[in-house]
Amino acid sequence: MTRSLFKPLALEAAFVLLGMTWLVTPLPVRAQEDIRCLTCHGKPGFEKTLPSGKKLELFVDPMRLRLSVHKDRKCVDCHADVTEVPHPEIPQKVNCGRCHFLGNSVGAPQLQRYIEYGTSVHGKALAEGNPKAPVCQDCHGDHFILPGSDARSQVNHKSIPQTCGGCHLEIYAQYQESVHGQALIKGVKDAPVCTNCHGEHNILKPQDKTSTVNPGTVVNTCSKCHSKVVIMEKYGVKAEQVATYRESFHGIANEFGMLKAANCASCHTAHQIFPEQDPRSTVNSRNIPLTCGKCHPGANANFAQGRIHLNPKDKSAGIVYWVALGFKVLTLSTLAGLLIHIALDLYRRFKNRKQPGEKKEVEVAEKSQ
């Protein structure tokens, strides 16, 4: 109860009050244990120089830890291999799986998506022994873990690109310039970040068929937002782009599993998405011959004339709209005429059957003889 009061306060003030809170904590043993750790680790600037010459910061801000989701945990709950002070060996990296497993007794959340990490591209890299493979702490932080909904969290929507960008530098730079990245910087809540397209714990290689960014699935991923009129009209983007793509030969081929056909990212790219008017855009009319030319060798400026996402049912499609309308009228009128003719023919036949006085055959026969 008391601790929640600190949240809105400045960090310094909280730090002073923390000591007081500590004194009234009714768990003297736990406090004592943590106080033992904080004797050294609570000092700002506490660090160690590794044999490699790299300095390892060992200061732990106790305030931040107490604000995190792990506020009730002791240091040694996670750093279980620490039994002596000073530590005879460098303590191991914390294994979150100690608590976060299905059916744990301490009530640590454990959902299917944590297990998905094991089959993800990151989890597989870890299993293969890649030292750079990210583990839980790399994305979620160490002592200051907060729920994703918390604005200060490393995995909060607006912080995700930065978190992923910690390793994926080049793509982070591309993304930040793109229309999605710029929107996020401007504080647009709908702006997609890395995880909206790639997933969170189940991130897979694009080559993987079940990946959300596989050529076979990426259309569905983009259309999660781009087919929604409610979202799209806010930003002046047409939601029918998804439908027109699905009606195009590219979309139909993609639907039937012909993955060499262009999908959204083939033309708009994955991370360097810009509005059509932007000269950096791959779908800018100046760049279209090059973009189409990737698959249609020899494409010239004519490819940029008119719209790619054409809706023949819309008047803005120009002549194509009239062609479509013309065929509609032609088809309906032709079929109506033919069906009426058939109906009349059947009507006459059944009527003749009822009155079998078929004169005309006799007459014809007479004439011909």
Residue 341 CB, nearest approach to other proteins (Å): 8
Residues in the interface with other proteins (CB under 8 A) total 49
Binding region for other proteins (CB under 8 A) out of 108-116, 133-141, 186-194, 330-338: 330-338
Residue in 256, 277, 354, 356 binding other proteins, rule: CB under 8 A? 256
Contact letters for other proteins, residues 48-87 (x by CB under 8 A): ----------------------------------------
Query: If binding is defined by CB under 8 A, does position 5 make contact with other proteins?
Result: no
264, burial (CB in 10 Å: exposed 0-12, middle 13-18, buried 19+): buried
Query: If binding is defined by CB under 8 A, does position 276 make contact with other proteins?
Result: no
Query: If binding is defined by CB under 8 A, does position 345 make contact with other proteins?
Result: yes
Which of the 8 DSSP states describes residue 203? -
Residue 345 CB, nearest approach to other proteins (Å): 7
- DSSP of 5-60, one letter per residue? GGTTS-HHHHHHHHHHHHHH-S-HHHHHHHHHHHHHHTSTT-EEE-TTS-EEE---
Indicate the residue among 7 and 351 with the shorter CB distance to other proteins: 351
Query: If binding is defined by CB under 8 A, does position 106 make contact with other proteins?
Result: no
Residue 362 CB, nearest approach to other proteins (Å): 11
Q: Which residues are CB-neighbours of 20 under 8 A, at least 6 positions away?
A: none
CB 237 within 8 A of CB 309: no
Residue in 255, 286, 294, 362 binding other proteins, rule: CB under 8 A? 255
Contact letters for other proteins, residues 284-313 (x by CB under 8 A): ------------xxxxx-xxxxx---x-x-
Q: Which residues are CB-neighbours of 91 under 8 A, at least 6 positions away?
A: 79, 81, 82
Task: Give which of 332, 333, 310, 308 is closest to 320, Cα–Cα.
Answer: 310
Tell me the two tokens of residue 359: 């004169």
Task: Give which of 132, 269, 270, 111 is closest to 200, Cα–Cα.
Answer: 111
Tell me the two tokens of residue 352: 């003749």
Indicate the residue among 47 and 363 with the shorter CB distance to other proteins: 363
Indicate the residue among 154 and 241 with the shorter CB distance to other proteins: 241
Q: Kind of pairing, strands 47-49 and 55-57?
A: antiparallel
Q: Which residues are CB-neighbours of 85 under 8 A, at least 6 positions away?
A: 36, 37, 40
Interhelix angle 218-226/240-247, nearest 10 degrees = 150
Binding region for other proteins (CB under 8 A) out of 57-65, 193-201, 230-238, 317-325: 317-325
Question: For residues 157 and 35, what is the distance between their CA atoms, to the nearest angstrom?
Answer: 35
Binding region for other proteins (CB under 8 A) out of 19-27, 167-175, 274-282, 321-329: 321-329
Residue 230 CB, nearest approach to other proteins (Å): 23
Binding region for other proteins (CB under 8 A) out of 98-106, 136-144, 266-274, 326-334: 326-334
Indicate the residue among 68 and 227 with the shorter CB distance to other proteins: 227
Question: For residues 38 and 15, what is the distance between their CA atoms, to the nearest angstrom?
Answer: 13
Task: Give which of 196, 232, 298 is closest to 240, Cα–Cα.
Answer: 232
CB 243 within 8 A of CB 300: no
Residue 171 CB, nearest approach to other proteins (Å): 32
Contact letters for other proteins, residues 210-249 (x by CB under 8 A): ---------------------------------------x
Written as one letter, the residue type at 183 is: A
Dihedral of CA atoms 294, 297, 301, 307 in degrees, nearest 10, equals -60
Query: If binding is defined by CB under 8 A, does position 342 make contact with other proteins?
Result: yes
Query: If binding is defined by CB under 8 A, does position 316 make contact with other proteins?
Result: no
Residue 342 CB, nearest approach to other proteins (Å): 5
Q: Which residues bind other proteins (CB under 8 A)?
A: 249, 252-253, 255-258, 296-300, 302-306, 310, 312, 317-320, 323-324, 327-328, 330-331, 334-335, 338-339, 342, 344-349, 351, 359-361, 363-365, 367-368
